[in-house]
Structure 1
């Protein structure tokens, strides 16, 4: 790899540059438009840019060689040597980062979000694909009707962002340039706070919505045992669940709040004359979590008869058992079109990848009663959409999707905003606790390295002792010597290990523990992070070649 003339100009001709850098790191383009705390802060961007540029400054050492020898040494560097020479600055100056890249109802329209929707059944596969990228260690996917958010732990923040964005473009067919117009990106503590706010319902279309907490729980359930859903990401989502529960139990933010499902029912009430379901023929498509909530809210509004279309009858039967005084008629998916032709109001809540209702089909449906307004009402809360967008052009139909629910939500927004301020206090406390837990993980490699260091010495000394004792020693004597050496090592390590653990069993704070870690690293020469990171990135590259 040739050295940039710009860099070479900073050194004398007779100097060999010991570290080389990929200049693409200076490409620091971000899109923070979706979060006001990142909006156009020139001071912050300038400081950050200056810090990043400091990593690019080459270090030079004087060597008594002529220019020809310099050129020969540069040209003879292998790709692996270049990797090693750049790894120290690329990966140790910048710790592993937690960041989130996403699109949600605040940043992207529905036609973009539905292209990036990832069904729950594919979350594990997505984690595997993300962690196969060169700079991604851990990953999680949160995909709902209102958002797709990718959470990762990355070896390199900026390279990780590029890889994840390109992956999102690949799976969706949306160009990177278009994704960049709608995505948001948050790093480290801001990414943590965002997930906690999401779990608490503070970032939902409906402030205080409860469905999102169960979806965050599902991320943890789905990720169990999946390679790549590892300690940091798993811990992040478990802390988010705790934060969400605390906000709901310690504030009144959920009191009187509505979910997406209840907002859909409220919207239908607004659009039907007399705001009554008494004479309306109602069809609900899908009996999953969202569909079940739609049915419950319909019943709460006085609807006592409806048709439910679902792939299998089991879920519908369970709903019938729970709602005894309601007439719920199950129909299979094959009867969907005939059921819709007989309905005045159609709610869709499915995980279909292709629309269930097309324009040419809806055009053939018979007109609805003038008492209902003469328009067949489709309320589609599926993402991707179950009702083709051009159905809205049919004269006898009226179509609403999740982006149209804002009309319902605005009514009691001010009250929820006051409650959200109380919730932010709890979120701040939980973020601090998570950051302390995450920082405490820094001591784990030191604990492992210290024990391995002691074990090497113990094993070497035991072998030396046994070799001096000759062949006449019995197995029992060997075991006694082994136990003795192990007992001595364990007792000697007990004190240092206790001073590295952050489990809440003593009064040591995190800064003291981290000081102890750095001291032990220095005393025993345990700072081998550079080689470990080289091994990680080398393994990633080899894996990508297969």
Structure 2
């Protein structure tokens, strides 16, 4: 645990050095434990255990501190109103509910997810969402009453839903219900495994994910490409809004910086290379170079498996794929290796001749069933058992196959023993990446906070426009019908010019990076002052308008 404690940053340091609110902080480290500094309003039973928090900013003295940790394994979303219902009469509850609903809460960025630490592959595969379905899923999520923006990151090791929620508590409940309905996993079971983060903790988590610090193989590079796919697939999707798009683009920047400015990815292994190493471990040493190899799937994962097989000395293999194009491209890249293409219809014929079978397709249903595998002829006596290395989620090899005496099945959750040997060294390298991540977190949070002034700008302009239009109508009615079109236009332009010039100063004070070079703190102070002066009630009214519009749309 000592090495992992470097991933939990001192709360006092964050508050004082970064000016960031760290309440409700939830952190995963790469040994599988996690810490939550609880400020949650949910009523969940808690278990406590100690942890060590450590700061490791460059140039600062390391400081250790032990505090109790709160762990909430259950999921019970309880409204603040509901928790007081027993002590209020129905009339009092009715009077206070409308005010409490939007004054107690504001919009939040949240992530609700599962990963290889919290959830076994048997459940992860049910919750997995293919990349082709991400846009449709975003639209469905944003159709919920309290979800304004959404993004989905679904890989073999995680399925995470990022949202901008108009109401924190209601948003959590809606997303969990949606996940349960889509996957068929009961909410009670889902909530035993899911993790939940809010606001700045979401930013930190995503930046760690993009940097490879939250991966099964610490420092692996494939996850950065998968984060890029989130941005690419979200282009043009209405629910992939400004905050989601901005956060994921900042995460890509953080991931690139960590890989170029630290040595964490030097010699790092991916899930594919770990799968090849696992096969090498499980095969008898004398049989490794002579074992017959079959790779099912020639996509990104399949190509990586082939690449690492070649690096380990494999000179001949059979590749089964739906089409020959990808296999031909791989053969061009590895001209010194004998790669034989076979179609999917020949898969079982090829499997009968293979000692080691790697499966890495995007199939929703298992390709190898127990009834099929038990009919395959036995492998050579020196091999012992036919090995299935299944790195697909959903799995390509059904679980009952492992009951057969003639087969041994390994999935992505079995790769941990392979990467454990190099983890300690990578944990040391990961401390260098933390400073970079915090720099990028601060930049994103400043950018996100600056967006808070946008509703005020819109409200203030709308407020001024209502006054201008009203006074213009009064003026035109007094002037009668003898006013020419050119005169009307001149009067209209005069009213617009006056409003624009009066608003110019306040608008400049609401924009970060304006001519006055104001800080974010000054800009937000100006925003709150204008809200009070003109009684704009921006945040509350924006939330009310958005939620009311969603409810009316869904009722049609």
TM interval, shorter chain, is 0.7 to 0.9
* Displacement after TM superposition at 1:488 (Å): 2.8
CA separation of 1:34/1:489 partners in 2, compared to 1, >3 Å: closer, same or farther?
farther
Give the RMSD, CA atoms, in angstroms: 3.2
* Displacement after TM superposition at 1:472 (Å): 3.9
Please give the alpha-carbon distance, in whole angstroms, between the structure 2 residues aligned to 1:133 and 1:34.
37
Q: Is the Cα–Cα contact under 8 Å of residues 440 and 510 in structure 1 kept in the other structure?
A: yes
Q: 1:520 aligns with which of 514, 530, 549?
A: 530
Please say if 1:350 is aligned against 2:365.
Answer: no
* Displacement after TM superposition at 1:134 (Å): 2.2
CA separation of 1:193/1:367 partners in 2, compared to 1, >3 Å: closer, same or farther?
same
Please give the alpha-carbon distance, in whole angstroms, between the structure 2 residues aligned to 1:365 and 1:306.
19
Unaligned runs of 5+ in 1: 1-24, 61-69
Once the two structures are superposed, the pairs formed by residues 50-449 of structure 1 within 5 Å of their partners are: 74=91, 82=94, 86-274=97-285, 278-371=289-382, 373-449=383-459
Unaligned runs of 5+ in 2: 1-39, 54-66
CA separation of 1:210/1:354 partners in 2, compared to 1, >3 Å: closer, same or farther?
same
Please give the alpha-carbon distance, in whole angstroms, between the structure 2 residues aligned to 1:362 and 1:43.
43
Q: TM-score, normalised by structure 1?
A: 0.84
Please give the alpha-carbon distance, in whole angstroms, between the structure 1 residues aligned to 2:259 and 2:538.
45
* Displacement after TM superposition at 1:253 (Å): 0.6
Aligned-partner SS, 1:370: coil
Please say if 1:535 is aligned against 2:550.
Answer: no
CA separation of 1:243/1:196 partners in 2, compared to 1, >3 Å: closer, same or farther?
same
* Displacement after TM superposition at 1:33 (Å): 9.1
Q: Cα deviations across residues 54-102 of structure 1 (Å, max 9, x unaligned)?
A: 9959999xxxxxxxxx99xx59x9xxxx5x8523212222111111111
Larger of the two Rg values belongs to structure: 1
Please give the alpha-carbon distance, in whole angstroms, between the structure 2 residues aligned to 1:292 and 1:155.
42
Q: Cα deviations across residues 381-428 of structure 1 (Å, max 9, x unaligned)?
A: 000110111112222222111011011101111110011111111111
Give the number of the structure whose residues are more often helix, by fraction. Answer: 1
* Displacement after TM superposition at 1:369 (Å): 2.4
- Higher mean displacement: 32-41 or 481-490: 32-41
Matched pairs, number: 501
* Displacement after TM superposition at 1:468 (Å): 3.9
Please say if 1:485 is aligned against 2:500.
Answer: no
Q: Is the Cα–Cα contact under 8 Å of residues 508 and 515 in structure 2 kept in the other structure?
A: no
Q: Cα deviations across residues 484-511 of structure 1 (Å, max 9, x unaligned)?
A: 3323322222221111112476531111
* Displacement after TM superposition at 1:529 (Å): 4.0
Q: TM-score, normalised by structure 2?
A: 0.83
Partner of 2:43: 28
Runs of 4+ in 1 over 6 A off after TM superposition: 30-39, 57-60
* Displacement after TM superposition at 1:146 (Å): 0.5
